[in-house]
Structure 1
């Protein structure tokens, strides 16, 4: 039997699989790669080496993002920026985020192998923190690059954001020789970035149901997130009468059901979903009535109006429940992300690239999930490419992709770069400062 070299798609999938186990995960038996953890550090080293092998120079910025640069025909030219994230949720899948970075490396490797360069540079960025799986705010390092971190006092703001072990962002950065104020120097100048492109697994079932390998994203849904803290009265489980209880957990349980009811009963709200993904009672022991509970709320919809109407209804319901049960209710806003459309010109180029590769017109769809692209859109025009994933499963070890689909992804991104290069309005302009 004659052996053959793996295709770019096969190699990309194999590399994602390689990064799915220790030392690239902080836990044995499942994938968990939080920003600035040991698994993250090991991953940066491995991906950096693959970038170098693809002909790129490599650096890390002040937010611990990994950046590879493939120079253009003109030194110090502005860059077409590809990216996605290196971190993962706890017990996540191997392709969410990571595949977009690894596929982009394969695109550059192809250009490098043929000595092909462009009037612009190509950069690939592996963002450190998109998921917010360590600290209760998402896309911190993406915000740093886009220049939209807190402008007032990042030291104070980051001191309040703690992980499950009580380590705050400032302390985590210090462990890597970094600082909150230093993170702000990761900001990219508008004139240095021509556009941002992100390839990502769909995280939904549409492409698989329609028998398509690829889809082009028209925009990303609006999101709001809150941390909700309930304060009641802890007491002995055997002696505190039911009529006298101020049980924070039963109040939280009723609120969780209200979240589900509001989202399920909403009429005419495109893509409206609401989720309580984390709930922590205190003290969390069998013989004590919980006195405090902290939980999260995530609300998304196709428009800000639909999202905000649902949030208002949920907060009203929570207030009624808290008042009836004599529970103090604190709502702490954590995210407020507007619906983000992809750039129409880039969208057109990506549709053409997909059609060239697949032989059929591109499927255009909205992303219900958030992505680095929605923050990067505040820095430069952006577009996204979706990759079919099995059963639409994501944030789960059952994530799966077909190497042939990844081959199509790499081919479509390659075609996109060439189309971009042939459009002087996009590839030779500089964004206004």
Structure 2
């Protein structure tokens, strides 16, 4: 086994994280890099430069995914892929997704600099629009790569009225030919991802890294509630058909439905929009999002049906109407046992003793499991926080994560497994 300290450049990793964080950075310290924006383009160009320095040949597919590839002595063999994302939510953090991309490039850099002969090609992938912060529908790039993007998704619009099709074209891509970029089973030997935990478990265990054994699957819904608009001062309370009051009741009920279950189901309402959205007007409609996640798909389905029934009951009671739309549906998955075993052995040799854990957050690895075996490792983050300007992971922990990622990658590209 190669020694971590003589190869992985911790200072380079740290400097690259900080340099990338300057793209889309706010005065308060947060970062906004929505998919297919100017900031996203600048981040991609920077990553492409680093990929080339690591000896990777780079291309961008029509979903907007950046793919750096190093050929092997047997180029007809399936590739070992490492990937994550660069896009953020509004006012997000420095590390979410980013450490997986920079860590993957660092692995490629070590292989390149050391002249390590590989028996399988290596790919480092930057997935487009993992967060879904600009257009509805997260995990767009990875879903596209495995053939799960529907044509109508290309015409979803952002808040400024720009649809995804036009945004892809503005990036110099050809959305009419996205089907040419679908990867098939057998093209990849394995897919590996490194990510900050976004939770408190590793910190509570005083462990720098952990190995994920399974991921909870998310379902995203939009609930539209319609009533009668009117003047806030002239319509008596008893005569109102107020969609905001109805939505408020529904949201509280969603919390009750998802609270206190034996399974780790969680339900979140993260966005509410009223139309027309004026202080002295009873809204004519209210739209809110629902994010439901569980590692048990049957339990999740039962709760979603319970939520839908509850929404209808509230509407019937209050004289409202509703429309419920589904934007994302990913099944829970298990990481491959052989990858978990490989990571555990690498962790033991590196004296890390990483614990096994479940991911409540969705990641591109979940989608890539459609076409290949996957592995996911987590890096400890401060106070378990993420998706805000306080998100933080220590470079010493990130470096240990990259060391584990490197050893796991070498086991596959050198055909040890």
Superposition TM-score tier, normalisation by shorter sequence = over 0.9
Shift of 1:78: 2.5
CA contact (8 A) 2:120 2:415 kept: no
Post-superposition CA distance 1:131-183 (Å, at most 9, x none): 11111101111111112222xxx1x4422x11111211122222223343322
Match of 1:274 in 2: 267
CA contact (8 A) 2:216 2:359 kept: yes
- Matches of 1:175 and 1:34 in 2, distance apart? 14
Residue 170 (structure 2) aligned to one of 157, 161, 175: 175
Shift of 1:322: 1.1
Match of 1:429 in 2: none
Shift of 1:76: 5.1
Residues 1:308 and 2:301 are matched in the alignment: yes
- Matches of 1:376 and 1:338 in 2, distance apart? 12
Post-superposition CA distance 1:280-304 (Å, at most 9, x none): 0111111111111111001111201
Residues 1:242 and 2:237 are matched in the alignment: yes
Match of 2:14 in 1: 13
Residues 1:379 and 2:371 are matched in the alignment: yes
**1:238/1:15 CA distance change after superposition, 3 Å:** same
Please state whether the residue corresponding to 1:319 is helix, strand or coil: helix
Shift of 1:423: 4.8
Shift of 1:356: 1.4
For structure 1, the 5+ residue unaligned runs are 427-433
Shift of 1:405: 1.0
TM-score by length of 1: 0.91
Shift of 1:232: 0.6
- Matches of 1:105 and 1:176 in 2, distance apart? 23
**1:148/1:72 CA distance change after superposition, 3 Å:** same
Please state whether the residue corresponding to 2:274 is helix, strand or coil: strand
- Matches of 2:389 and 2:352 in 1, distance apart? 32
- Matches of 1:358 and 1:398 in 2, distance apart? 29
Where do residues 28-427 of structure 1 align in structure 2 (5 Å cutoff)?
29=28, 30-75=30-75, 77-150=77-150, 154=151, 156-159=152-155, 161-266=156-261, 268-269=262-263, 271-360=264-353, 362-421=354-413, 423=415, 426=417
Please state whether the residue corresponding to 2:225 is helix, strand or coil: strand
Shift of 1:260: 0.8
Q: What is the alpha-carbon root mean square deviation over aligned residues?
A: 1.8
Tell me how many residue pairs correspond in the alignment. 411
- Matches of 2:20 and 2:345 in 1, distance apart? 32
CA contact (8 A) 1:71 1:117 kept: no
Shift of 1:185: 1.8
Runs of 4+ residues over 6 Å off in structure 1:
none
Shift of 1:359: 4.6
- Matches of 2:249 and 2:174 in 1, distance apart? 41
Please state whether the residue corresponding to 2:158 is helix, strand or coil: coil
Shift of 1:96: 0.5
CA contact (8 A) 1:252 1:293 kept: yes
Shift of 1:422: 5.6
Please state whether the residue corresponding to 1:19 is helix, strand or coil: helix
Shift of 1:224: 1.4
- Matches of 2:410 and 2:43 in 1, distance apart? 30
Shift of 1:8: 2.2
Shift of 1:10: 3.3
- Matches of 2:174 and 2:318 in 1, distance apart? 43
Post-superposition CA distance 1:87-120 (Å, at most 9, x none): 1111111110111000111111111111112111
Please state whether the residue corresponding to 1:119 is helix, strand or coil: coil
Please state whether the residue corresponding to 1:32 is helix, strand or coil: coil
Shift of 1:38: 0.3
Please state whether the residue corresponding to 1:358 is helix, strand or coil: coil
For structure 2, the 5+ residue unaligned runs are 1-5
Shift of 1:71: 1.9
Shift of 1:17: 2.1
